[in-house]
A and B are shown apart, each in its own frame.
Chain A
Amino acid sequence: MIFNIIISSLINGSTYALLAIGFSLVFGVARIVNIAHTAFFMVASYCIFLCTNILGLNPFAAMMVTIILTVLLGLIIFKIIIDPLREHEAAVLIATVALAMSFQETMLLFFGGVFQSLPYLVTGNMEIAGIRVAYQQLLIIAMAPLVLAAVWIFLKKTRMGLAIRATSQDREVANLMGMNEKGIAMMTMAVSVALAAFTGAVVVPLSVVHPHMWLHPLVMTMAAVVLGGMGSVKGSFIGAYILGFAEALVVFLIPMGAFLKGSVALSIMVFVLLLRPDGLFGVTFEEER
């Protein structure tokens, strides 16, 4: 049973991790609490649905087109809505909630509440220690650490990454040193939204596309980010796996309480926060003003 729990935890945890990395990145660097992060994931899923089911593109081409379109949408949203409000974090939070709701209603208007689905990127399954695992699930498990590694290399080994890290440490000083802080925030937003779109292509084929699909992942993503420590990409990654493990544990140990898996995971988050208010790997921001 332990192996089954581990496999389930890895699949669930990887899904949350893929979303949490993007969410954490944009918060850690640009200090934008983008509640619409998983709504971008939902919009990207619909975009892939359009590309594959209506336009007949293959899933990989659809994924590429979607990432580009979602990033464009993200940049427009940043320019029009988020950037003017950036100095007021609470306003950004509320604006992105409204944005997510408007994405949801727009999709409801165009596609209705009918459940849709996306094609698998890889089909088939294999048996590991007596449990069947779909190749798509293995892809998710593999993608989460790869994405984390890619983000890490981007942040540590590129000039843009250096600029992003500098900005995340102190926005005003970075600005005074001649860095285009706004451009960096915009770039970070683009990377974050691209990750949300990529996650849509990898994760959603296992589930269904519908206008409300962003809500549950949002709660779990935020929980992973808070548990791991606000602003810490590594912390969010680990937080996501802890939540995935808690969910799997509930389903295996209390089958009749499977619907409680989300609540139990969130309770663990609250418990950890009581012991460590900054989360597991909390980043302490310098007071800028």
Chain B
Amino acid sequence: MKKMRLFTRVCLSVCLILFTAINTWAAKEIKIGVIGPMNFTQGQGQWNGALMAADEINANGGIQAGNKKMKIKLIKADSNEFISITDAASAMERVIAYDKADFIVGGFRTEAVLAMQDIASDYKKIFLGCGAASKILCDRVEKDYDTYKYWFRVTPQNNIYLVKTNFAFLHMVATTIRKELGIAKPKVAIVGEKQVWVERIIGAAKANLPKMGMEVVGAWRPSQTATDMVAELAAIQKSGAHIIFTLLTASSGITFAKQAGELKIPAVMVGINIEASKETFWETTKGNGNYVMTISSHARNVEYNELTKPYLNRYIKRFGEIPTYTAGTYNAVKILKQSIENAGTLDSDKVIPEIERYDEIGPGGRISFNKSHDVKWGPGFITSLGVQWQDGKLLGVWPNQWRASKEAPPLTYKGIAPFKLPPWMIEKYKK
């Protein structure tokens, strides 16, 4: 009997020691939730970026939070937000309440991120957005700082800046059309999916493109998941558009480019087509995506600064493709590291001022936040790239001698290639 008691005590002691050890070990970790549509490329990009940053930081010993050196543990949270906003909210709730994440990075669709943002704010957890573009998300910080100060947008630039970037694309393309084809007033057809972030861009395009010497011949609003764009393409052909200004983030971007390419519609597609920024686009469209131009964060041929090439090489070596903009979670994790180290604690309220003060050069440009916690855009900060498919290669073509204002010096990143019009368009219009 005595032996049994002794055995029980030894067992209990071992359990207690193990429990304490596990807790101590666990306490040495900083948990970062990576939330996004994990079964989709956007979520995979978010996970890959965060994973690469976490591994690099952990390999160098981790994060110095006060007097503790802590390793990063990433928690993957599938938001399923393309299918269900409710799932996205549940995933956020779970990663904070159950997985005990200290910080969260990711989110993609504005509609889902709005719900996630509320939950993160309720729990007072810092949430670094790496996917949703809508300005509304950051407007909330300005309107109700105490509630929404936990939110920062790391990538992409907001829809107002997206408009500016895309107008710069359109200006460059219209100039090329005028110069090469002699068309004084190029016609623009807008094709924008029915999503919140597109609304303001279409309004701005209709108001401003005529001032920029272009004529808007119509705006088509297909569903984000449209499986056929036959009718839209027929209508656009009928309109005689020279430029198709795309605002597409999902499968409709492939369908549209594939069908337009097969038909050899004499117009150039420019704007946002998230699928076109992926290197799989060429194969997915069976080469019909040739000459499509879209916004992207990286291209193999372009260097923003001396950090870009090593970062791209590491990313490509590990994941076999260039990072999409959602892989900006890489920067988000690095921002967290530096801000936690500066604050010396994981306490959100103390880390927030450090993120607000953050001003560092990353592989995609200089990162700093404005008062609404939005990443700053423009020459010297984050600008992103205009990339174009040219015979199977995704090349950076913008900024090429771009002037943000009349007084600003022209900006061209290292490696930028010239923009090209589709040969079948030249054939049709060249006099």
- A258 — which chain B residues lie within 8 A by C-beta? 220-223, 231-232
- Select from chain A the residue with minimum beta-carbon distance to B259: A206
A114: shortest Cβ distance to chain B, in Å?
Answer: 6
Residue B97 lies at the interface, judged by CB distance under 8 Å to chain A: no
- B9 — which chain A residues lie within 8 A by C-beta? none
- A267 — which chain B residues lie within 8 A by C-beta? none
In chain B, positions 138-170 with a C-beta closer than 8 Å to chain A are none
- A247 — which chain B residues lie within 8 A by C-beta? 231
- A133 — which chain B residues lie within 8 A by C-beta? 263
Residue pair B221, A257 in contact (C-beta under 8 Å): yes
With A12-B230, A207-B255, A212-B83 known to touch, is A255 a contact of B220 (CB < 8 Å)?
yes
On chain B, the number of residues with a Cβ less than 8 Å from chain A's Cβ atoms is 42
- B8 — which chain A residues lie within 8 A by C-beta? none
B39: which of A112, A120, A261 is its contact (CB, 8 Å)? A112
- B285 — which chain A residues lie within 8 A by C-beta? 117
Residue A160 lies at the interface, judged by CB distance under 8 Å to chain B: no
Which listed segment binds B: A3-11, A71-79, A144-152?
A: A3-11
Residue B65 lies at the interface, judged by CB distance under 8 Å to chain A: no
Q: What string of 1s and 0s marks CB contacts (under 8 Å) between B176-204 and chain A?
A: 00000000000000000110000000000
- B283 — which chain A residues lie within 8 A by C-beta? 117
In chain B, positions 258-290 with a C-beta closer than 8 Å to chain A are 258-259, 262-265, 275, 280, 283-286
A53: shortest Cβ distance to chain B, in Å?
Answer: 8
Residue B228 lies at the interface, judged by CB distance under 8 Å to chain A: yes
Residue pair B286, A120 in contact (C-beta under 8 Å): yes
Residue pair B40, A255 in contact (C-beta under 8 Å): no
A116 to B254, CA, bound (A): 9
Residue B41 lies at the interface, judged by CB distance under 8 Å to chain A: yes
Residue pair A117, B228 in contact (C-beta under 8 Å): no
Residue pair A113, B223 in contact (C-beta under 8 Å): no
Residue pair A259, B223 in contact (C-beta under 8 Å): yes
- Select from chain A the residue with minimum beta-carbon distance to B228: A207
Residue A289 lies at the interface, judged by CB distance under 8 Å to chain B: no
B251: which of A1, A7, A210, A252 is its contact (CB, 8 Å)? A210
Residue A161 lies at the interface, judged by CB distance under 8 Å to chain B: no
Q: Which of B218, B234, B254, B258 has the largest number of chain A CB atoms within 10 A?
A: B234
With A133-B263, A206-B258 known to touch, is A4 a contact of B238 (CB < 8 Å)?
yes
Residue pair A8, B234 in contact (C-beta under 8 Å): yes
Residue B86 lies at the interface, judged by CB distance under 8 Å to chain A: no
In chain B, positions 1-60 with a C-beta closer than 8 Å to chain A are 37, 39-41, 43-44
- A212 — which chain B residues lie within 8 A by C-beta? 83, 225
B109: shortest Cβ distance to chain A, in Å?
Answer: 13
Residue pair B228, A115 in contact (C-beta under 8 Å): no
Q: Which of A132, A213, A255 has the largest number of chain B CB atoms within 10 A?
A: A255
Residue pair A117, B286 in contact (C-beta under 8 Å): yes
On chain A, the number of residues with a Cβ less than 8 Å from chain B's Cβ atoms is 45
Q: What string of 1s and 0s marks CB contacts (under 8 Å) between A201-223 and chain B?
A: 00000111010110011000000
A115: which of B219, B226, B284 is its contact (CB, 8 Å)? B284
A45: shortest Cβ distance to chain B, in Å?
Answer: 11
A225 to B219, CA, bound (A): 32
Residue pair A4, B235 in contact (C-beta under 8 Å): yes
Residue B227 lies at the interface, judged by CB distance under 8 Å to chain A: yes
A251: which of B193, B232, B275 is its contact (CB, 8 Å)? B232
A252 to B232, CA, bound (A): 7
Residue pair A251, B235 in contact (C-beta under 8 Å): yes
A126: shortest Cβ distance to chain B, in Å?
Answer: 10
A137 to B419, CA, bound (A): 31
A243 to B81, CA, bound (A): 29
With A119-B286, A134-B259 known to touch, is A208 a contact of B40 (CB < 8 Å)?
no
A108 to B68, CA, bound (A): 41
- A130 — which chain B residues lie within 8 A by C-beta? 237-238
A207 to B254, CA, bound (A): 8
A190 to B107, CA, bound (A): 43
Residue B82 lies at the interface, judged by CB distance under 8 Å to chain A: yes
A15 to B259, CA, bound (A): 15
- Select from chain B the residue with minimum beta-carbon distance to A109: B39
Residue pair B275, A115 in contact (C-beta under 8 Å): yes
Q: Would you give 15 A-B contacts (Cβ < 8 Å), ordered by A?
A: A1-B238, A113-B37, A115-B254, A119-B286, A132-B265, A206-B228, A208-B254, A208-B284, A213-B227, A247-B231, A258-B222, A258-B231, A259-B193, A259-B222, A259-B226
Given contacts A115-B254, A255-B235, 11 further A-B pairs with CB under 8 A are: A1-B238, A113-B43, A130-B237, A207-B227, A207-B251, A208-B227, A252-B235, A258-B232, A259-B193, A259-B221, A259-B222
Residues of chain A at the chain B interface (Cβ within 8 Å): 1, 4-5, 7-8, 11-12, 15, 108, 112-117, 119-120, 123, 125, 130-134, 136-137, 206-208, 210, 212-213, 216-217, 247-248, 251-252, 255-259, 261-262
Which 10 residue pairs are nearest across A and B when measured between Cβ atoms? Answer: A113-B40, A251-B231, A259-B194, A113-B39, A8-B231, A132-B263, A259-B223, A248-B231, A4-B234, A207-B227
